[in-house]
Amino acid sequence: DVKVTQSSRYLVKRTGEKVFLECVQDMDHENMFWYRQDPGLGLRLIYFSYDVKMKEKGDIPEGYSVSREKKERFSLILESASTNQTSMYLCASSLSSGSVDEQYFGPGTRLTVT
């Protein structure tokens, strides 16, 4: 089974702090994704990566950056956390066959910024 793990289930940070959310997948998937999930808004794509060191902005990249130095690991960085970044963050991965592959999601990190 594909396993996607996220470094923390719950995280509390202060405004202005730099925050790192880590995601690791164990199935040699090419694609990795970061979403945020808010009530009534569903999942919104922040950034994705289709290869090591390759990244592209999703729908809501402002205030975030990402890093993919190794194939299995995709990090989401909040350079200066703000209260409006309080949310559930979901990481996902998928194989790359040139079409829309099934995404495998981690359990999520609930981030609270105070």
Partner 1 sequence: LAKTTQPISMDSYEGQEVNITCSHNNIATNDYITWYQQFPSQGPRFIIQGYKTKVTNEVASLFIPADRKSSTLSLPRVSLSDTAVYYCLVGDWGTGRRALTFGSGTRLQVQP
- Which residues contact partner 1 (rule: CB under 8 A)? 4, 31, 33, 35, 40-45, 48, 50, 56, 58-59, 90, 92, 96, 98-108
Measured distance CA(109)–CA(111) in Å, rounded: 6
Q: Which one, 43 or 77, has the nearer CB to partner 1?
A: 43
Q: Which one, 10 or 84, has the nearer CB to partner 1?
A: 10
Q: Choose among 37, 20, 29, 10: nearest CA to 104.
A: 29
Q: Which two tokens stand for residue 3?
A: 């396993």
> In the complex, what is the shortest distance from the CB of residue 16 to partner 1, in angstroms, rounded to a whole number?
29
Q: Which one, 74 or 106, has the nearer CB to partner 1?
A: 106
> Within 13 Å of residue 47, how many CA atoms lie on the same side as its CB?
21
